[in-house]
Amino acid sequence: MKLIVGLGNPERRYQGTRHNVGFMVLAELARQCGAGRPKTKFHGEVVDAVVGGQKALLLSPLTYMNRSGISVHEARDFHKLPLEELLIVCDDLNLPLAKLRFRASGSAGGQKGLADIIRRLGSQEFARLRIGIGAPPDGWDAADYVLSRFTTAEEKEIETAVATAVEAVGRWAADGVEECMNRYNHGEKDS
């Protein structure tokens, strides 16, 4: 079984913000691949699904971004999943708007949700799909920027990125992270 986690913040006031791109991807995955209504479990919202031909649990932590590891750790331990069956989908302000980047492992790169997951799991050895939200404009605080909404002009690009990310998550479930790095990390050198 795969554990696919989309990061974001609960509450209506955070819907559509840059920091909630992971939730956007999970919502679309649930719409396309989910089996049944969402349930509250593991300090999050879960949906059973079949993604890329694989049984999967879609998890959107409801612990707020900076405490995402609580939810991920509980779900991973309950299902006794090896870390190679885990994929985290999150925003990245160090990537250009709508750019996708897969990694098999690595640091949090400043993403607070990833940092908490790494800390609670005691490992960086899990796949992640980062979606670029662009860098903050001059004079903007990074925390304020990630909680801001996309401009009208940016929304089309993000909609396309979310659709591509949904496809990419299916590819990850079917073929693994190396295939996804080769296919979706355009213009990068990956080993």
> Of the residues 19, 43, 73, 79, which is catalytic?
19
* 79 flagged as catalytic: no
**156-173: buried (b, 16+ CB within 10 Å) or exposed (e) per residue?**
ebbeebbeebbebbbbbb
| Long-range contacts of the stretch 163-169 (C-beta < 8 A, 24+) | 163/28, 164/100, 165/25, 165/89, 165/100, 165/129, 165/131, 166/25, 166/28, 166/29, 166/32, 168/100, 168/102, 168/129, 169/4, 169/25, 169/29, 169/51, 169/52, 169/87, 169/89, 169/129
Strands of the sheet containing 100-103, edge to edge, are 39-41, 44-51, 54-61, 2-6, 86-92, 127-132, 100-103
Whose structure tokens read 């409801």?
A: 62
What residues act catalytically? 19
